[in-house]
Amino acid sequence: MERRIEERIGKVEERARKVEADKAWEPGKTMRFIVAVFTHMAIGAYLLATGTLNALLNAAAPTIDLVLFALTLPYFKNLGIDKVYKGHRHASVGHRE
């Protein structure tokens, strides 16, 4: 019985480590850079395929928009959380007091 409990605790701890690693990756600069590069490549390829003039230059606008969105999202998330909790302390990931 104790062995099964220990195994289950081990699995829960392993999952917690994976979740922590995922959370650390999400707001990271590397992830944002990779998303921006792939977004630019995908939109650029689409614009090239459709014969748009200056396709790669025109692909920069939505890429910049996506990066700005990713950079400002935590601010607006915390603004919404603060409104819901009306300034009370809460356990929000990435919340700055």
User: Would you state the pLDDT for residue 20?
Assistant: 84
> Do the Cβ atoms of 92 and 81 come closer than 8 Å?
yes
**DSSP 3-state assignment of 55?**
helix
pTM of this structure: 0.56
pLDDT (tens digit, 9 = 90+) per residue, 8-19?
999 999 999 888
